[in-house]
Chain A
Amino acid sequence: QKEVEQNSGPLSVPEGAIASLNCTYSDRGSQSFFWYRQYSGKSPELIMSIYSNGDKEDGRFTAQLNKASQYVSLLIRDSQPSDSATYLCAAESNTGNQFYFGTGTSLTVIP
């Protein structure tokens, strides 16, 4: 079993819609979770971090964490074509200092 699982997609949404990206993790000791965006041929860039159960909002992005269900999600509101990328979910290892990454979900926003 992989430490972090994501649906690889591809996920397609029309411009202006809400894109919902999901992630599950296996290490109950993980306390910190991250979403990275990666454009084709580029390196990942951090867009959201979340440490507590519930929702965390930053502009058009909302991260959701449910530690009981070991589930992390990212919602992108008013999706734009520039949001088209691969989104990587990461969970901190229970020893800290190291992260487990999912294989990423490819998102395409259709104009």
Chain B
Amino acid sequence: DVKVTQSSRYLVKRTGEKVFLECVQDMDHENMFWYRQDPGLGLRLIYFSYDVKMKEKGDIPEGYSVSREKKERFSLILESASTNQTSMYLCASSSQGAPIYGYTFGSGTRLTVV
């Protein structure tokens, strides 16, 4: 069974902490994505990557960075956590080329910043 695994299901961090969210996929997918999901706002793209060492800003990259040192792993970093970063964070991956099969999502990390 193919998987996208996010390292933590729930996290509670303090304001100002540096936070690492890890995502690993075992499908050999080229594309990986980080979204946050908030009530009424839907899924918002933070960063994405089409290849190792490569990253692109999404719609809301401020306050975040990413790292993709290996094809299967895509990490989201909150440089200095703030309360407005309390959210559900979803990692997703997809293959390149046609046809487009859609994303596979991880189970999500619910982050609370206090």
The main secondary structure of chain A at its interface with chain B is: loop
B96 contacts the other chain (CB 8 A): yes
A45 touches B43 (CB 8 A): no
Fill in one digit per residue for B88-101: 1 if any A CB lies within 8 Å of its CB, else 0.
00100010100111
Residues of chain A in range 73-111 having any CB-CB distance to chain B below 8 Å: 88, 90, 92, 96-99, 101-104
Q: How many A-B residue pairs lie within 8 Å, measured between CB atoms?
A: 53
The 6 closest A-B pairs by CB, nearest first: A103-B42, A32-B100, A43-B105, A101-B43, A43-B108, A34-B102
17 more A-B contacts (CB under 8 A) besides A32-B102, A90-B103, A99-B102? A8-B40, A32-B100, A34-B102, A42-B107, A43-B106, A43-B108, A44-B90, A44-B105, A45-B105, A51-B100, A88-B42, A88-B43, A97-B94, A98-B31, A101-B42, A103-B40, A103-B42
Measured CB to CB, the residues of A under 8 A from B are: 8, 31-32, 34, 36, 42-46, 49, 51, 88, 90, 92, 96-99, 101-104
